[in-house]
Amino acid sequence: MVESEDYRKYIANLRAIGCPEETIRDIVVADVNKLFESRMKALRSGNTNRYEYWRQGNAGYSGLLDADTVAKTQALAKEKRAALKELLGAEVPEKLDAWPGLNPFKERMDFLTDEKQADVMEIEQELTARQAKNAQAAAKGDYAELKRAYEERDAKLAQILTPEEKFEYDLRTSPTTMLMKNRMGGFEPTEQEFREIFKLQKQFDDEFGIYGGLDKRPEQVERRKAAQRAMDDRLKIVLGEQRYQAYKHPNP
């Protein structure tokens, strides 16, 4: 038995059986990271704020970055670096996070279990690779392969997510969401408004494609125009005339 709750003894035991220093370092760093990750999770559990997916850009994370949580997160990070230096005798380089103590992907996926988050991350990594592979074709206006990549991704997601989870996922990550936010300008929807707009826009995009207007056949152009008018009429009902106008004609 080489394990010990006393890390110094643990390291000495590993060295005694000839374990390479690089391996010892990897083992200790992994263990300490796991320990501090659990402490970080406990710290974050006290913050009831959540990712506000309906807000643009990094504003969705603003509620998660209260001063007290950030200060405690920084203190934990400093404590972890000191512990690793004391145990290993040298500074251990760490990847800096854009938001201290936050994992943007996990925060957006807070409605999923850790296991499902891992499965979704793998699927998204596959999509990213295919996006890169087909970037040149898409830049020239050929979206066929990109469209197929998204369809296959959605099929895989449907195998691991419930319909409700898939809807929540699309709310946060779909191309429809990205384009909606780009068009909103200074319009700041409530969460409920965002959900209502998304439902209608996603239905429209699923029928006519996210990159609409590419099919120039007269009958398809007319179908698209009629569907757009119908969607606008529905938006007026769910948003009200004043909020509808603010959405359609946002300030830059």
Confidence of residue 208 (pLDDT cuts 50, 70, 90): confident
Task: Please report the pLDDT score of residue 95 as a whole number.
Answer: 55
pLDDT at 98 (0 to 100): 44
> Which residue has better confidence, 169 or 61?
169
What is the rounded average pLDDT of the residues 188-217?
Answer: 87
Q: How far apart are CA 201 and CA 206, in angstroms?
A: 9
pLDDT, tens digit (0-9, with 9 covering 90-100), for 19-56: 998 898 888 888 888 888 788 777 766 666 778 889 88
Query: Can you tell me the distance from the alpha carbon of 237 to that of 231, in angstroms, rounded to the nearest whole number?
Result: 10
How confident is the model over 155-164, as a mean pLDDT? 94
Contact by Cβ (8 Å): 7, 28: yes
What pLDDT band is residue 191 in, cutting at 50, 70 and 90? very high
> Which pLDDT band holds residue 172 (cuts at 50, 70, 90)?
very high
Residue type, 101: G
pLDDT at 148: 87
- Identify the pLDDT of residue 77: 83
Per 3-state DSSP, what percentage of the chain is helix, strand, and coil (rounded to 5)? 70, 0, 30
The position carrying tokens 């203190």 is 75
pTM, two decimal places: 0.68
Contact call for residues 40 and 75 (beta carbons, < 8 A)? no
What is the pLDDT, as a whole number, of residue 159?
94
Treating both helix axes as pointing N-terminal to C-terminal, what angle do 7-16 and 21-45 enclose, rounded to 10 degrees? Answer: 150
- Is residue 252 within 8 A of residue 186, CB to CB? The reply is yes
